[in-house]
Structures are given as C-alpha cells and as structure tokens.
Structure 1
Amino acid sequence: MPASATKALRVAVLADSDTRWKWGALTAQRVTPSGGGFRLDGYLLRGRATPTARQLTEVGVHADSLREVTGAEFLRAMSETPYDVLVLALVGGGVQAMLHGLRAAWGSGRRPVVVTGYVGVVYEKLADGLLLRHGADLVLANSRQDAERFRAVYEGVGADAGAVTEVALPFLGGQPYGGEHEPYTVVFAAQPSVPDSRRDRTYLLDRLIGHARRHPGREVLLKLRSRPGEHTTHIEELPYQKLVRGRELPANLRLVYGHMGEVLDRTDLLVTVSSTAALEALHRRVPTAVLTDLGVREALGNHHFTGSGCLVSWNQLDAGHRPRPDPGWLARQGVAADGRYDTAFDTARARIAALLGSPGGLPPLTPYYTPDTAPGYLPGILARHHLGPDGAPLPGAPAPDRAPGPVRQVVRRAARGAYRHGVQRVAPVIRRMGEL
C-alpha cells in the first residue's frame, strides 16, 4: 500500500483572490488521497485582490493555517516545509512565475505534487492561460470538453499533455431543486466584469427592476459578489450597488450577499450573463437562464452556453418562459446532474497517489515556457513577481523575515485601500476623459 494512503499528508494552497481560494482549497480537499487525513495550509498572495476577512468568512472553507505572503515569502516557505501536495490557485501568469520560482527553490530535491487549473468556465485566452499553467504535474480540466481542448492546445505546440486531468468544479453540490418556493424566487447572479460598460450594466439592472415590477408576487434578488472596496478575481469598476443609488426599487427586489449555495437553496430561476453560478444551479437542476439580450459573444462568455438550451432573453423570461437544459450538453460540461459527481475526482486522486509513491521522488518541474522558448515573454512574467530569468528572487524582492507589526499593518491596509480606490474610482474617470 502506498505511503500516501496511510499517513497524514501536508497540503498547501496558494491563492490570489477569494474565488481562487475557494476553488483551490476545495480542490485540495477533493483530490488529495485521504487514507490518513491531511493538514491544509493556506497562503494568500499579496496583491490587489487579496481577500478580506469578510470574503474569507463568506467562502466558508476551513484551513489549519492561513496567512498572507509575498511571492518570495511563499517560495521560502516551500523550500523549508516538506509538503506532499501543492495547489496553485492563481491567474495564469502567477502560476507560471511560481512554477519557475519553485523549480529554482527545490532544485533536484524532494518536492510535492503540484496541481493547478481554472476556477470556472474557460471562455477566453485558452492557449495563453493553458501554456502559462504548463509544467504542473496535474492541470485540472473541469469537464470532458475542457480536457479535450486542453490536450489539443498542448499537443498543438509540441508540449506534453499528460498533466491534463478531467475532474469537475469542486464547489458543486447541495440539494437538488425540489419545486417552486413560496414566494417564487428569481436570482440574478451579478459578475464583476461582465458586461463591463455602464450602459450594458444599467440595461441589465433596468430589466431586473422591470421584471420585479411585472411580477409583484415574486421575490427578485440581485446577488452581489463583493461589497464596495473589495476585489474578487476580476476588477469591478461599476458595482451594481453604485448603479442602484437614487433609484426607487420595487418592494420585492433586494440586494443580497452571501454564499451562492445558500442563495440557490431558495432559488426557482437563476439568471446570469455567464457566471459560473449557472453551472452550480444546473448541477442542482435549478432552472437556469443565460441572457442573450446583449448578444451571444465571446467577450461576454455566454457563447460557452451555446447548445445548452439555457440561452434566453429578458423578454422571454418576463413572458414566463423557463429554459430546459440539454442533457448531452450537461454531460460534456462536467455538471454531473445525473449523480456521477461523487466519482469525478477519482482519476485525479489516483494520479496524485501514484506520483506520491514514485520511487526516487519526482523530477524537477519542466514548464513549456523557458528563456529559450519564450525569451521575449517569460522574463516579464517573472519580473512582475520579483523573480529573475532563472526563477530566483531578484535583489530587493519583498520578503520580510517576520510578521509586520501593528503600525505596518495599518499602513498596509491604508495603502491597499488607496490602491483599490484608484482602480475603482480614479482609473475609470481617467479612461473616460481619454475617450473624449
């Protein structure tokens, strides 16, 4: 019996936002062989989207330890702590930088199994994002369709596609939809960056308000991702909280926060442009509508749902239409509404167990991008994370040896608040002025 099946494993997750922490931590729990249990240590990469305490509480995923780090601090921790599994839950450039940094930090010594993947629907930058993730031992694909696309990209550039492993989204679950609630509840799942223009976001808000007025017997909820001043994976320059100010809302329309799973417990119709919440709802057989009002476009991500049977307009929803999903499409998307979800992570667990039992340990990480294959691209990615071309931290890279004191913590919070204010308020104004 391999050691991984009998001893308690040490697992680390590095994440750069609340949604990626949720994905990374839940993925670690799903794919780690648990014959002897495991300890989960969380690392939050310091940056513009580092989650707040409220966001972490809302995610609701427990870790045995959780701390904020710079890239250099994380690499130091990885060189000093013997982990068995590491999940990189980062944007593509962050994954690539850490792969090179870890290769330099570990050298030819013992190292953990490295896992990465995507938080949700992959609807843009497919080749770019995939090649930035190449080099991990497992690159997780959330569906059969994604697994096929991922392998095609790797094989098309001559990269090893053996790391691609089909799984499913780790946060699916909850009780299947059991019929209409009282009152009938419509939930619009807002997204931080889709659509991105004031006109389009105002249009969607107006249609939601109009639906609530047209159906006064329904409860209509605008499900928000973050509170003002907080960031998620994507920057939200025009939060709906701001757009709704000064409007007279119907009594049956409310803005809500909270865990999406808890909101879905009382949802009769989930409406979105292209949120991953649609897949959560479809997994639970909750009627789900993906809006076509702004077109079916790659920029919106709703093109991913072609063939799903869920594409619909507000006009149709106002008239009482309820979309019916296509079973074949659901099966290819890893939604597993037919009950196969419990086995969706078996292959990943088996692969990790086999790698953990490899005699002589694992070979050094070998990303596709190197100074030879991408000399004009890779150095910039590494430099953004204070790493040199060889993956080693550059001189002056932020890596304090001890936790910051109270004064430094206050200064850091103030600086982060100023940064977020600049991104959310000042930058959009400057861009608009530049368009005049």
Structure 2
Amino acid sequence: MPSPTPRIAVLADSDTRWKWGALTARRLAPQPSPAAPGITGYALRGRATPTARQLAEAGLGTPREVTGAQFLRDVREEAYDVVVLALVGGTVQALLHGLAALPTPRRPVVVTGYVGVVYEKLADGLLLRHGADVVLANSPYDARRFRAVYEGVGADPSAVVEARLPFLGGAPHRPVPGRHTVVFAAQPSVPASRADRLYLLRRLAGHARLHPEREVLLKLRSRPGEHTTHIEELPYQKLARTLPLPPNTRLVYGHMGAVLDRTDLLVTVSSTAALEALHRGVPTAVLTDLGVREALGNHHFIGSGLLTSWDRLDAGEEPVPDPAWLADQGVEPVGPAGDTGHERAVRDQDDAAFAEARRRVAELLERDVLPPIAPYYTRTSAPGYLPGILARHRLDAADATAVPGARGVRRVLRDAARGAARGAYRHGVQHVAPVIRRLGEL
C-alpha cells in the first residue's frame, strides 16, 4: 500500500513536455501544491533534451538527465507510486513494455497524455499510449475522440480521463489605454517551408508599419542551438536577419505566460498558445493566409470563430471566439475580477478539471494488486511495427532489469563516457556553432 503522499516520477523528452508533465504531476497529488512534494523529475536524453535555461524558464525545478533504461532501473529501485510519461508516443509505448517487464513487487500507476492540441496522428499516437492506466484528454472534444479511437479498434477505452491543459491560467486580459501589443506565436515546425515562413515575417513587419503605434512582437520558442518538442529546421531568428524590420518590431523569448501578460492580440497559425490566450480572454487570431490545412494544424480551429487573415487584421478586425467551441476545447475564460478573486476562480477550475484524474489515480493506488500493463500493440497484434519501436528506443527487458555487477560497472563507465561526449556535443551545438555561424555571416 503506497504512502498517503504518493511518490511521483515525471519523465519528459522536451522543454514543453517537461512543463506539462511537472504541472500535471502537481495536480494529481492528493492535495495539489506548488511545492510539488514527492515529485522527482527526469529528462530523457535525446536530441531535444532541454537546456538548463529552458528548464529554469519553466520554473519547475531541474530534472535529472537519463536514458530510458536508466529511468526504468530507477523506477525499480525507488519504488515510485506514480509515473507520468510526458513523451512522444513511440517512447511511451517502449516504456510501457519496459515497465511491464520490471520485476517489482508492485508496479507504479502510469499516467500519460498530450501537451497541446492533437491535430495529427490521432490514431497512431493514441494506440502508442494505450496500456497506460490513465490517458489524459485535455477537453471534452479530445475525450470523445480518444474513446472513439480505442473503441473502434477493440481496445479498452476506460483509461481515457477528461482533464485540461495544466498550464491554462494567469492574469485575465485587461486593456491598458494607449497600449496595443500584437504577438505572433511562432511554431518550430509549422509552416515548414522557407517561403511560407518568410511570407509570415513580411506580413508581420507590414502590420507593424501600418500600425506604428503598436508594439509587434515575434515570440520565439527557443534560442539558436536549443531544441523544443519539434525540431526547427529554419529558425525565424535567421530568416528575420534577411528582412528590414520596423523599429516597433522585436523578437522575444521567455515564458509564454509572461508574454501574454502584456498581449492585446495573439496571432498564430495553430499554436497551443492560442488556447492559453483564449483562457485569459486575450483577443486571438488563427491565420488562414496559407490555407486551412491539416498540415498546418489550423483545421483544428474550424468552428471557433478565430480564423482570419493578415489583411483583415491590418484593417483592424479582430475575431470573436464561439463560446460553445471554447467550452468543448476545455477553455473557460475567467472574467476580470480582482486579483484574489481571479486566482481563486482559476484554482477552482483546476480542482474541478483534474478531480476525476485524481480520483482515478487514488483508486488505483488503493488496490492491493494492479493489473498487468497491457498495451494494445504486442508482438502478436503488431509484429511488423512493435519490434522496431522497442529496438529504436533500446528498451529491451534484459537491459531494463539487469542486476548490477561487473557488467553493471562497465555499463556505468560507458554511460559516463557517453554522457560526457553528449555534453561536449551539446555545448558545441548550443554555444560554439551559433558564434561560428554569426562570424561566417559578417
């Protein structure tokens, strides 16, 4: 039987997923608290491993960097009560099989979900996450879709639990006389082409020239050399150096919440930042300039009332969101009450949104024996798919459950050498390479 305060481990593979996982873990605790008692963080080593700056920006502590096999050994040795997997779908699937193979007296309760809008690979991502005890859905809309996918393939849909994005919150929008700040929330992978990205930059600069009284900000996800959930092939920072930007246009970094504190209009192609802005009551626009297409993700906003173009924004129009669509997306704007009243209302929303998830986790923790982890994908149901996933993540049962010994010592030394090499490589990518590129452009 676990302790009254369950010990929770969070494993994430990028800065955004670390934020989602840590905030979710706080809300799953019996008494949600900013202090996050009993929560241990792990960052999965890979090409999107967050930098110290990205982790500090999230303000949620510093997780320990590990491989998947190292994490499984820690789960076995530390006997965590709950494990939150804030990872890409294939890694979740590999770890589910790894957790299922662990020789422990009692396995942890496994929770997973999505960090934002689910607009692509719905079936693939969901079936890779099947086998977790709790699959969090961020809205009523997502909960219906998730259950329909599981039911449609004959998988148990009972793990789907409706909640909401854990980072919705912050101060409500309050217009300030004489201030009009427009923020374009850039995305690492959408749109993908150089021509489309340059188009958006030119339109952003054009809007700033048409409205010199406005402050126009390009909000970037990462600094040069850093990676986020999606790898950015054509950084806006580099493209922006090829254009003349008006003096009222600036590139900004930092926590999205801090930027939204001074935003009067958020513009995006399909970023989850739109939901954060809408929750605060910030006017929000989703661009149709490049079409309404699944590849862009803006098709998710059909019916929202938010779809518009730069031409209309240049003319002073601002979209008005549809209240029914907002509710179905799990977005409940809190009115501009006093600070204390607003904070209390946000806490009440959070408590209500995560109440079912907390109840489900608590009920599982009270059981004397948990059922075996049973992913949808097995070597029988997906013999041409699953073996490749497990091999790609190097999470075979032998490595996950090996007993320390002479071979264990060699593995420790090998891991240390590899860690040092990765650290040197990352330092070169994040610090040395940007300097060399700048020198080459002089």
Which residue among 178, 184, 189 is the counterpart of 2:185?
189
| Residue number in structure 2 paired with 1:427 | none
Q: Cα offset for 1:394?
A: 10
Structure 2 residue 58 is matched with structure 1 residue 59: yes
| Residue number in structure 1 paired with 2:43 | 44
Residues 47-76 of structure 1: per-residue CA shift (max 9 Å, x gap): 00000001101111136xx21001111111
| Residue number in structure 1 paired with 2:438 | none
| Residue number in structure 1 paired with 2:78 | 81
1:101-112 equivalences under 5 Å are 101-106=98-103, 109-112=105-108
Q: Cα offset for 1:409?
A: 5.3
| Residue number in structure 1 paired with 2:118 | 122
Which residue among 342, 346, 352 is the counterpart of 2:355?
346
Which residue among 313, 320, 336 is the counterpart of 2:316?
320
The TM-score with structure 1 as length reference comes to 0.89
Amino acid at match of 2:98: G
Once residues 393 and 377 of structure 1 are traced to their aligned partners in structure 2, the CA distance between those partners, rounded to angstroms, is 21
Which residue among 397, 401, 422 is the counterpart of 2:412?
401
| Residue number in structure 2 paired with 1:165 | 161
Unpaired runs of at least 5, structure 1: 425-436
Amino acid at match of 1:371: R
Q: Cα offset for 1:271?
A: 0.2
Once residues 418 and 221 of structure 2 are traced to their aligned partners in structure 1, the CA distance between those partners, rounded to angstroms, is 29
Q: Cα offset for 1:248?
A: 2.4
Q: Contact (CA 8 Å) 1:50, 1:231: kept in 2 or not? A: yes
Once residues 46 and 353 of structure 1 are traced to their aligned partners in structure 2, the CA distance between those partners, rounded to angstroms, is 30
Unpaired runs of at least 5, structure 2: 335-344, 435-442
The TM-score with structure 2 as length reference comes to 0.88
Amino acid at match of 1:372: T
Once residues 210 and 222 of structure 1 are traced to their aligned partners in structure 2, the CA distance between those partners, rounded to angstroms, is 13
Q: Cα offset for 1:400?
A: 4.2
Q: Contact (CA 8 Å) 2:183, 2:219: kept in 1 or not? A: yes
Q: Assess, with a 3 A threshold, how the Cα gap between structure 1 residues 285 and 397 changes in structure 2: closer, same or farther.
A: farther
Structure 2 residue 222 is matched with structure 1 residue 226: yes
Q: Contact (CA 8 Å) 1:310, 1:325: kept in 2 or not? A: yes
3-state secondary structure, aligned to 2:39: strand
| Residue number in structure 1 paired with 2:27 | 30
3-state secondary structure, aligned to 2:102: helix
| Residue number in structure 1 paired with 2:337 | none
1:243-282 equivalences under 5 Å are 243-282=239-278
Once residues 157 and 76 of structure 2 are traced to their aligned partners in structure 1, the CA distance between those partners, rounded to angstroms, is 27
Q: Cα offset for 1:181?
A: 5.4
Amino acid at match of 1:254: R
3-state secondary structure, aligned to 1:186: strand
Structure 2 residue 307 is matched with structure 1 residue 301: no
Q: Cα offset for 1:393?
A: 4.4
Residues 263-285 of structure 1: per-residue CA shift (max 9 Å, x gap): 00000000000000000000001
Q: Cα offset for 1:39?
A: 1.2
Which residue among 376, 379, 388 is the counterpart of 1:371?
379
Q: Cα offset for 1:38?
A: 3.0
Q: Contact (CA 8 Å) 1:186, 1:271: kept in 2 or not? A: yes
3-state secondary structure, aligned to 1:344: helix
Once residues 359 and 300 of structure 2 are traced to their aligned partners in structure 1, the CA distance between those partners, rounded to angstroms, is 30
Once residues 219 and 422 of structure 2 are traced to their aligned partners in structure 1, the CA distance between those partners, rounded to angstroms, is 30
Amino acid at match of 2:66: V
Aligned residues: 414
Q: Contact (CA 8 Å) 2:10, 2:22: kept in 1 or not? A: yes
Once residues 410 and 112 of structure 2 are traced to their aligned partners in structure 1, the CA distance between those partners, rounded to angstroms, is 24
3-state secondary structure, aligned to 2:127: helix
Q: Assess, with a 3 A threshold, how the Cα gap between structure 1 residues 83 and 363 changes in structure 2: closer, same or farther.
A: same
Q: Assess, with a 3 A threshold, how the Cα gap between structure 1 residues 221 and 35 changes in structure 2: closer, same or farther.
A: closer
Q: Contact (CA 8 Å) 2:305, 2:319: kept in 1 or not? A: yes
**4+ runs of 1 displaced by more than 6 Å?**
394-399, 402-405, 418-421
3-state secondary structure, aligned to 2:412: coil
> Which stretch of structure 1 is more off in the superposition, 204-213 or 179-188?
179-188
3-state secondary structure, aligned to 1:401: helix
Q: Contact (CA 8 Å) 1:273, 1:301: kept in 2 or not? A: yes
Q: Contact (CA 8 Å) 2:132, 2:159: kept in 1 or not? A: yes
Q: Cα offset for 1:84?
A: 1.4
Residues 273-304 of structure 1: per-residue CA shift (max 9 Å, x gap): 00000000000010000000000000000000
Which residue among 63, 68, 71 is the counterpart of 1:71?
68
Once residues 410 and 296 of structure 2 are traced to their aligned partners in structure 1, the CA distance between those partners, rounded to angstroms, is 38
3-state secondary structure, aligned to 1:237: coil
Once residues 35 and 266 of structure 1 are traced to their aligned partners in structure 2, the CA distance between those partners, rounded to angstroms, is 28
Residues 13-54 of structure 1: per-residue CA shift (max 9 Å, x gap): 000000000000001011222289731111111000000001
3-state secondary structure, aligned to 1:221: strand
Once residues 327 and 228 of structure 2 are traced to their aligned partners in structure 1, the CA distance between those partners, rounded to angstroms, is 29
3-state secondary structure, aligned to 2:7: strand
Q: Which has the higher helix share?
A: 2
Once residues 371 and 239 of structure 2 are traced to their aligned partners in structure 1, the CA distance between those partners, rounded to angstroms, is 53
